[in-house]
């Protein structure tokens, strides 16, 4: 076959492959794009969440409050995950780096209060009515979307693996930004991009537990969890969101709404209500004039991975 004909066929094949790749990426972005925004949470949603977290931290009636023998599966998994991620060390480094040791600080969604001693003037806030027994420092029972504090009350704040469990995450961001003073710092470390299959326990349960559709979902997890798949979904979506944000004005937080499992805690984030991208939160703060201390620049932010997001507030 003449060389020019081979080259023409090769060119057509490459064009077809590029078109197929473009269609594939466009489809993935369309399916995973963060379309959802805050809507008012129903009274039932709030009641279900409060009851769930109260039960998750509730000590058995046979034990006295505060006894160390008590560990629910929820708390045990949380402890293991926090240890593996070196959460206490990261928060301690944040406190030291920004000289917050003796300054007023807030932990939003403080749970069992295991971080209360990283700073002296500490306040913990949580919606669970059964966690107060864990505290020897100030604890406030309240929602992250309606904090009972005056504006600019704290010099610093942090929230670990909480934002994804709040039905209205943008309201929570507004509140944490409101109660931190101008020049104050915020550390946010949610479970970014929570997958929808966590609620069904697809990663933990055997194939025999599922119907054919469920088996397909379970079999797809290795592909959907791969770096290539995630990059094909997130980088184009982040680029589009950054372009939209460049037109000016405060952005609206976009995310993917999830259906939480409040009956069976199969594993980490089975109870998550939102799948939130780190880049989206960084955009939200940046569009309000705040500084991202942990972001690798405007372009690099599009490619950033998980981990803590550190924001310096500028009001």
Alpha-carbon distance of 263 to 259, in angstroms, equals: 12
Task: Report DSSP state, residue 143.
Answer: -
Mean pLDDT of 148-169: 97
- Residue 119 forms part of a structural domain: yes
Longest CA span, the chain: 87
Q: Coil, helix or strand for 257?
A: strand
Q: What total number of domains does the chain contain? A: 1
Mean pLDDT of 68-82: 68
Tokens standing for 201? Answer: 């326990």
Which residues touch 88 (CB under 8 Å, ≥6 apart)? 82, 114, 115, 118
Look at residue 59 in the predicted model and tell me its pLDDT.
67
- Residue 6 forms part of a structural domain: no
Alpha-carbon distance of 128 to 120, in angstroms, equals: 23
pLDDT band at 75 (very low <50, low <70, confident <90, very high): confident
Tokens standing for 194? Answer: 């929570």
Nearest to 282 by CA among 270, 272, 274, 290: 290
- Residue 32 forms part of a structural domain: no
Which residues touch 82 (CB under 8 Å, ≥6 apart)? 88, 114, 160
Which residues touch 72 (CB under 8 Å, ≥6 apart)? 56, 57, 58
Mean pLDDT of 26-43: 82
pLDDT in tens, 263-314: 888 888 999 999 999 999 999 999 999 999 999 887 789 999 999 999 999 9
Check pLDDT > 60 for residue 105: yes
Crossing angle of helices 278-286 and 169-179, rounded to 10°? 50
β-partners of residue 58 are none
- Residue 289 forms part of a structural domain: yes
118-127, 131-140, 177-186, 241-250: segment of lowest average pLDDT: 241-250
- Residue 18 forms part of a structural domain: no
Alpha-carbon distance of 161 to 269, in angstroms, equals: 9
- Specify the residue for token string 């079999």: 219
Tokens standing for 154? Answer: 């704290």
Check pLDDT > 70 for residue 65: no
Contact criterion met (CB below 8 Å) for 73 and 204: no
- Residue 7 forms part of a structural domain: no
Look at residue 29 in the predicted model and tell me its pLDDT.
72
Q: What angle do CA 229, 33, 48 make, to 5 degrees?
A: 105
Which residues touch 230 (CB under 8 Å, ≥6 apart)? 193, 224
- Residue 16 forms part of a structural domain: no
Check pLDDT > 90 for residue 126: yes
Tell me the CATH number at 198.
3.40.50.150
Check pLDDT > 70 for residue 40: yes
Look at residue 69 in the predicted model and tell me its pLDDT.
44
Alpha-carbon distance of 93 to 87, in angstroms, equals: 10
Check pLDDT > 80 for residue 185: yes
Look at residue 4 in the predicted model and tell me its pLDDT.
74
Domain assignment of residue 72, given as a range: 37-217+245-312
Q: Coil, helix or strand for 292?
A: strand
Q: CA distances (Å), 15 to each of 4, 5, 9, 18, 23, in order?
A: 16, 15, 10, 5, 12
Alpha-carbon distance of 295 to 279, in angstroms, equals: 9
Nearest to 254 by CA among 287, 282, 281, 232: 281
- Residue 3 forms part of a structural domain: no
Task: Report DSSP state, residue 101.
Answer: T
Look at residue 2 in the predicted model and tell me its pLDDT.
67
72-76, 129-133, 249-253: segment of lowest average pLDDT: 72-76
């Amino acid at each position: 076959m003449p060389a020019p004909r081979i080259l023409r066929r090769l060119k057509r094949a490459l064009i077809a492959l590029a078109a197929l790749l473009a269609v594939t990426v466009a489809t993935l972005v369309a399916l995973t794009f963060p379309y959802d925004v805050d809507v008012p949470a129903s009274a039932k949603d709030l009641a279900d969440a409060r009851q769930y977290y109260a039960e998750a931290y509730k000590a058995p009636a046979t034990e006295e409050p505060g006894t160390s023998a008590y560990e629910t599966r929820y708390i045990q998994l949380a402890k293991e995950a926090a240890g593996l991620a070196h959460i206490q060390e990261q928060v301690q480094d944040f406190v030291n780096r920004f000289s917050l040791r003796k300054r007023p600080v807030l932990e939003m969604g403080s749970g069992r209060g295991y971080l209360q001693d990283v700073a002296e003037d500490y306040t913990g806030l949580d919606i669970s009515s059964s966690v107060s027994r864990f505290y020897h420092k100030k604890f406030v029972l309240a929602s992250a979307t309606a904090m009972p504090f005056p504006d600019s009350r704290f010099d610093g704040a942090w929230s670990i693996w909480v934002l994804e469990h709040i039905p209205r995450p943008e309201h929570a961001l507004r509140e944490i930004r409101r109660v931190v003073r101008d020049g104050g710092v915020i550390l946010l470390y949610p479970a970014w991009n929570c997958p929808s299959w966590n609620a069904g326990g697809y990663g933990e349960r055997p194939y025999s537990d599922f119907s054919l559709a469920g088996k397909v979902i379970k079999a797809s997890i290795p592909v959907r969890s791969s770096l290539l798949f995630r990059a094909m979904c997130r980088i184009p979506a982040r680029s589009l969101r950054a372009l939209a944000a460049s037109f000016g004005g405060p952005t609206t937080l976009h995310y993917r709404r999830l259906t939480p499992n409040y009956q069976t805690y199969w594993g980490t984030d089975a109870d998550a209500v939102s799948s939130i991208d780190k880049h989206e939160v960084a955009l939200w703060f940046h569009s309000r004039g705040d500084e991202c201390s942990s972001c690798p620049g405007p372009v690099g932010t599009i490619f950033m991975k998980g981990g803590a997001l550190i924001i310096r507030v500028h009001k």
